[in-house]
Structure 1
């Protein structure tokens, strides 16, 4: 068997997760926890969080490329993520599935748990491990708050609280979230979620390929 044919066979037996860059570290952590050597990850830019209209077209291209490369088992590591159903249309077009729920803040907490508290969180500004690590790059600098702190009220005046959805127990990240709440003038709440539905979903969707059956 040639190297090309071996590579093609390997990809055919692999589950490829095409995910948001904001959850890359978490997908890899779940992969390691589940010992899923047959799972591979590719990511779209995390900055698409701010440009949801770019997600579906980029996913369309990524799925087409993955299929051209020989991947037969593809899972989408996105919820709806503010696309108004556009991701669902791409998933339907290519006969692939995605993470359940409206956004990662929901599936980290667990969809059923999120449904129970979402009304009380209408005015919550969510942070995750990723957003704590990237708080300056994702919020402070793009919004110009380092140069114009007076804009904080304009951007965050309608929020009541910062809710840190912690995937890990990291005091350094806790401090970032607490400092963010203080800077924004909001109350602070920490919820340890772990990886939430990400673990159970990847276990269910990527647990087996036809080669394993």
Structure 2
């Protein structure tokens, strides 16, 4: 998948219109979403009936977090020209404050937390997992589905499997923060991912209630 922020489409809220008359989005909200949480965010938007269009950035930006702030700035500049409001569906996600600087510059708000995992497990619960066992590798439904692409291929493990020891020697377990823990295909994929990492798997059902709450608070003043 390309990490270029120009390769993107809105996941929700598209409307049919004449080619000569672009849709009026001034009464809608654009949500710039981390590609890793775009799909569940779109599900929340649809369920709540919010006038929001989700615009995902490539999830592989998480492998290059220093590029996230610039990608958000570029996309926000485009969307602010078309939408009534823009919000940022990212936590800090390893930008070390650079994303906050962009949000301050453009007058935007982002999701809370240090990273997307907080939006599923909750910040205090996740901190407890990591305090209990610092060598914890975290998986979400997105990472389980895309593991071969976003982890195995991106880290070169498909070509150099011996690198597994270099990358993961200090990890002692994998935790799947499962939004859909009863999905047999996802469970099978999570088990396969943990096996490829050489780690025992713990399944923590989370659902998407905390993500929904965070989105509701982020968008409260924008969706009426």
The 1:143/1:117 distance shift into structure 2, 3 A limit, reads closer
Equivalent position of 2:15 in the other structure: none
Secondary structure of the residue aligned to 1:97 is coil
Equivalent position of 1:80 in the other structure: 92
Q: 1:58 aligns with which of 62, 71, 79?
A: 71
Q: In the alignment, does 2:106 pair up with 1:94?
A: yes
Q: In the alignment, does 2:128 pair up with 1:128?
A: no
Distance 2:133 2:78 in 1: 38
Equivalent position of 1:143 in the other structure: 155
CA contact (8 A) 1:162 1:188 kept: yes
Equivalent position of 1:25 in the other structure: 39
Distance 2:158 2:120 in 1: 30
Q: 2:217 aligns with which of 192, 204, 207?
A: 204
Q: 1:41 aligns with which of 31, 43, 54?
A: 54
Q: Which runs of 5+ in 1 are unaligned?
A: none
Secondary structure of the residue aligned to 1:149 is coil
Q: In the alignment, does 2:120 pair up with 1:108?
A: yes
Q: TM-score, normalised by structure 2?
A: 0.84
Distance 1:103 1:196 in 2: 16
Q: Which runs of 5+ in 2 are unaligned?
A: 1-17
Distance 1:113 1:73 in 2: 32
CA contact (8 A) 2:130 2:136 kept: no
Number of aligned positions between the proteins: 205
Distance 1:88 1:5 in 2: 35
Indicate the RMSD between aligned Cα atoms, in angstroms.
2.1
- Deviation (angstroms), 1:143: 2.2
Moved more, 167-176 or 201-210: 201-210
CA contact (8 A) 2:27 2:84 kept: yes
Offset from partner CA, 1:6-59 (integer Å, 9 cap, x none): 944xx22212100111111111111122122x1111011111010011110111
- Deviation (angstroms), 1:179: 1.8
- Deviation (angstroms), 1:121: 4.6
Distance 1:72 1:197 in 2: 26
Greater helix share, structure number: 1
- Deviation (angstroms), 1:196: 4.0
- Deviation (angstroms), 1:115: 3.7
